[in-house]
A and B are shown apart, each in its own frame.
Chain A
Amino acid sequence: MAPNQFSRRRFIGRTAAGAGLVLGGGRLLTACGDDEAAAPTTTAAAPATTTAAPTTTAAPTTTAAPATTAAPTTTAPLELAEANFQLSWFDSVQFGGSYIAHERGYYERFGLDVSLVPGGPGVSPDAAVAADQALVGISAANFTGQSVADGAPFKIVGVAMQKNPFVIASLSDNPINEPKDLEGTKLGMAFNNQLDLELLSELNDVDISKIEVITSDYDPAPLVNGEVDSLLCWLTDLPVAMTVQGIDNTTMLFADFGYAVHSQTLICTEDSLANRRDQVLGLLKGDILGWQEYRTDTDAAAQLTVDLFPDAGFDLEAQKLQASEQLKIMFSADTDEHGFLWFTDESVQDNIRTLAALGVDVTADLWDRSLLEEIYADGPVLT
């Protein structure tokens, strides 16, 4: 990656964010009353439209003109379709590939003006998609399965995390290496993971009554303090935070012990799949290009994330580590063979079994691989 490109991107990130702050003030009024989905995401949309213009010079005037957000099509020669992409959590390098796609204009290449919408504890991506506030959302098979069981018309069209990111994290001098080790220890976890723990125990012949569960919010401190012996969390967040703080820790992936639940799944409604198929297809293609690039240089993705979101106060090292850790669960032999986002029939069957054990009854109809089959018709790498 050329250094000049690099610094230019950083510059874009900064100005865009700065402009977004100013813009936000003026837009609050409308954002309150109007059902204007795109309004707050202008921060992210601004650099997209400017970089989309395939001009070679990165003149500050073009990049610093986020006024174009009001009418994005004026600068782009192509008629772009607007689409919201609902992320599953607050911004972080967890979505690094999508940021790359956004910054590099990969979505535009397929005719889309995509707004990346951050999530959070009060956001259900499934609900956002069902309410037509997002074309595509990032969810997980268990949530989507439950929604579909309740009558929501969703399809999973791609799987970004081949392995479920749940881990049991422990300190290395008191490690939990396999589920059996949990017996006789204290485990800290968020309250809505009870079923997941029950399933892991059942699959691995663990007596769950011998685990003392302590409710904790999403925070490594109880483990570090010795209040608990382990934490149920994601591979890519709390363990990374501990490593960055210099605390040796051990992680045990649920996915390695029979717990098969697709995570960071891309979902859309059946209606979109039928009537806005090109747009969903374009979004997936742009995203794939971004993630392919991400894989080649996770440090750059981390740097981009830090630059794009100065208000988040990211620690660059933590983002770098998260970015590389994430590769372990996002790419596999299957994706190398078929392409990123792919899911095999076999993994779908595993998911159906796991979900049934979690009390969610789904069929293989929940998954739709037709878009991926179309994208990867010529091989597992999109160019």
Chain B
Amino acid sequence: MARRGAPVDVVGVGRTFALGGGEVEALRGFDLHVPAGGFSALIGPSGCGKSTALRLVAGLDLPDEGTIDMDGASPDQMRRGQRIGVAFQDPSLLPWRTVSTNIRLALELVGRRHDTAAVSDLIELVGLQGFEKARPAQLSGGMRQRVAIARSLVTEPDLLLLDEPFGALDALTRQQLNDELQRIWTARGTTTILVTHSIPEAVYVADDVLVMSPRPGRVVARHSIDFERPRTRELLLADEFHAKVEAVSASLHRSEGQVVQIEADNS
């Protein structure tokens, strides 16, 4: 399969915020490597700086130290080159626009306003045919999230960043969207980083699961997931899947106990 997109190399990144007189160190010595066309999931305890890391990679924020490189470009250059697509837990749709014009927004912003074919392709890809003219208020939470993902993909970005996009959804919808996400990623081959706090979700969709320590956050464990694709729901019942989930879960628990050395698990 043709792999597209940019590799991501994050080395020694630190980020500290001023907060009401004091300071909060969100990240320290944060390293991350995602190969071109790879799919990595970031997992960690609440408040460990997952979202901060994602925002830094997206060029929405600047690190205090360390470097982030994507195929020779900085996140800011990637952002300015309009090569990034993002989706957050809050779908952040414009309530006054319809499904198709919300998706088109991204195209407008990169100067491809008239690419209607791309919009209808994406609507089809995320399974929203027939809802083109609906406004966000008329959609369910899962449908809104699909619109957000379609929007993040419509510009054919080199890097897709997803910050708990399914966090607020029920388990069933969530599983459905995980299938969709996998399908889309398989079809497009875009480098993807998914922030989540659901271990099964991470194991189900990603090539790599990276476990972060509590604040100040850094990657303390890396699990390669080499289940065959396309992964199906039967995998959820398989023993090796559960073993993987257990392993990730164990390193997540250890990370909360401040385990410092990086584990390499290539089982």
Any A–B CB pair closer than 8 Å: no
Binding site for B on A (CB under 8 A): none
Residues of B within 8 A of A (CB): none
